[in-house]
Structure formats: structure tokens, C-alpha cells
Chain A
């Protein structure tokens, strides 16, 4: 509870303070005030530094955590990419089938070419007009 008549009380009684006490107060109050102000400034500066340090550390920590998460995702994607790659067995099987089909067609192509050469030879020998061959 706030004292009643506070200011009037102080004003009324001030004149009864002995000179010695007044001198002590006049000398010491500014000194204490200065010390307190310096202490407050030092305290605030120290706390500001501490807070900045904590916030900086938190920033680094959280950015690092997110970066690590991204790194982990990248690693998982690489594993997934390896797993999702085609099986070489497919390509081998396809190549093998293609070679077989090529060989199969080649056989008939060779037969056709041989027949063409033979017919052309005969046509040339007998002067037959087989120009389309």
C-alpha cells in the first residue's frame, strides 16, 4: 500500500535532517547513482551479448539440423535411385533377343540376296530384261 501524505511528509521533515546527514546524502547519492547506472549498463551489455550468442547458436543449430535433414534426403534419394535403376538383366535379355531376331532375319535376307544374284546372273547370261532386280 502506498503511504498516504508521502510527499508532504518528506517535505515537512526534510528541514529537520541534520547538516551532517544532508552532506552525506548530497555526496553519496550521486556516487551511488553513477555506480548503479554503470552497473545497469554493464549488466544490459552482458545480457545482450549472452542473448545474441544464444540466438546465433540457435540459428546455426537449426540451419544445421535442416541441412542434415536435406543431406539425409539426398542420401536416401541416391539409395532409391540405385534401387530404382533398371536391372541389367533386362538389357541383356533384350540384346540377346535382338541378336537372335537379327540372325533369324539375316538368314532369309541372305537367301533372298543369293536368289537375286543368281537370277541376275541368269538374266545377264540370256539377255533377259529384268531391270527391276
Chain B
């Protein structure tokens, strides 16, 4: 074993440890990036989910309100239709009532005449049957009685017809009035975007605050992740020592150097891993 091989034999564990440290440094950087990605993913997922739920809720509220508005409108229109039925029934009842009233009133007024004619007719019939009366007078009284009753019937029918026509005119006017009764604007107007926004004002405000908190939490976590970089304290120190611009420049340069050194050590360590177990091979000079 020559002196160079001996020297390598002595320092190889140290190099291996340093290589491991360098590798662990790389792992830490990757891990930090992954941790940062996790923080971003949590915040963006939660925010997007929150916004999707809010949108779905807006749609649901709009649909619920619309369903209720249409139900109320249907109730109103049903009430109108019910009132039209009420009108038909009421007018039919009134017509029957008036027909009876006309017939009763007219027959009451004609009754004295009819009663007298009936009485005279009966009397004449009895006389005729006894051979003292006049068949011609009897027939004349019967004709007068029949004519009075018929004329009374005709007049009552005419009055009833007039009443029916008048009732029908009123009924049509009333039906038109019902048809023309407008549904209130509240029942015919869908929920506007502005009203929906007003309904959601507090949800939106609080939702935005919540998302802002999430974003703030994410930024804090990212800051923590960045601060956990072993270079971070050195950068802060350099910045406060040299000023922000110069400190940053020097920090970047140092980072580059450290990275270059780490890469070389990593490469050396990997070579060592490949060949080092033979120990006889010297490491290539850097």
C-alpha cells in the first residue's frame, strides 16, 4: 500500500460521512420543496373546494327559492281558478233562486184572479150539470183561466230569461275581473343576481376571510420551510451585515459554491460507493 492509498484509507470514512451529509443536504432541499408543495396544495384545494361549495350552494338556494316562488304563484293561480268555480256556482244558485222568486211573486199577484175564475168555473160546471148553466159560459171561463195561467207562465218565463241574461253578463264581467287580476310582482319575478348576492353577502365575506386565513397560513408555512434551510440564517446574517443587495449577491455566490462542493462530494462519494470497497483505487483528484 503506497502512501497515497494509505492516505485515502484514512480519510475515506470522513469523505463518506461528508458525502452523506451532502446527500442529506440535497434530500433536505427536495423535502423542503415537497413540504412547500404540500402547503400550497392544502391551501389551493381547500380554497377551491370552498368556492365550489359556495357556488353549489348559490345554485341550490336559487333553485329552492324558484321552486317556492313557483309554488306560491301556483297557489295564487289556483285561488283564482277556485274563485271562478265559486262564481259559476253562485250564479247558478242565484238563477234558480230568482226563477223561484219570480214564479212565486207573479203567481201570488195573479192568484186572486185565478181563484175567482176557478171558483166561477166550478160553479158554472155544477149549474151545467144540474141543467141550469150555460155550456158556453163554462167553456169561456175555462178558456179565460187557461189563458191567464199561460200568460202568467209566459211572463214569468220572460222575466226569468231576462234575469238569466243579466246574471250571465255580470258573471262574465266577474270572470274577466278574476282573469285580469295580476299576480303580485314578487311571485312573478325570479330571484335576481343582486338579490342572491345580497343573500350570500355574509357567507361570501366570511368565506373570503377564511380563504385569506388559509393563504396566510400557507405563506407562514412556506416561510417556516424556507427558514429551515441551513443557509437561511447565514443569508439573514449576511444581509444584515453587508446590506440586503450585497448580502443577497454574496449569499447566492456562497450557495453556488456550496452547491458545487456538494455536487463534487456527492460525485466522489458515489465513486467511492462504486469502487471504494476495493480501497486500492485512489480517488480521482478534484
Contact = CB atoms under 8 A, between A and B. Distances in A.
A16 B143 contact: yes
Contact of B202 (A17, A36, A81): A81
B126 to A, nearest CB: 21
Given A24-B110, A85-B206, A109 B151 contact: no
A55 interface: yes
Contacts of B213: 86, 90-91, 94
Given A51-B174, A70-B65, A91-B213, A40 B150 contact: no
Contacts of B119: none
Q: In terms of DSSP, what is the predominant structure of the interface of chain B?
A: helix
Q: How large is the interface on B (under 10, 10 to 19, 20 to 34, 35 or more residues)?
A: 35 or more
A129 to B, nearest CB: 15
Contacts of A93: 217
Interface centre among B75, B87, B206, B209, by most A CB within 10 Å? B206
Interface string A38-75: 01110110011001101100110111011101100110
Q: How large is the interface on A (under 10, 10 to 19, 20 to 34, 35 or more residues)?
A: 35 or more
B155 interface: yes
B57 A40 contact: no
B241 A115 contact: yes
B223 interface: yes
Contacts, number: 221
Contact of A63 (B64, B163, B186): B186
A29 B117 CA distance: 21
B106 A9 contact: no
28 contacts: A13-B146, A17-B148, A18-B148, A21-B144, A21-B147, A21-B151, A21-B152, A25-B110, A28-B110, A33-B162, A36-B162, A36-B166, A43-B94, A55-B79, A62-B72, A66-B72, A78-B202, A80-B57, A82-B206, A84-B210, A90-B213, A97-B220, A101-B220, A105-B227, A108-B237, A116-B240, A132-B246, A133-B242
Interface of A: 9-10, 13-18, 20-22, 24-25, 27-29, 32-33, 35-37, 39-41, 43-44, 47-48, 51-52, 54-55, 58-59, 61-63, 65-67, 69-70, 73-74, 77-78, 80-82, 84-86, 90-91, 93-94, 97-98, 101, 104-105, 108-113, 115-116, 119, 132-133
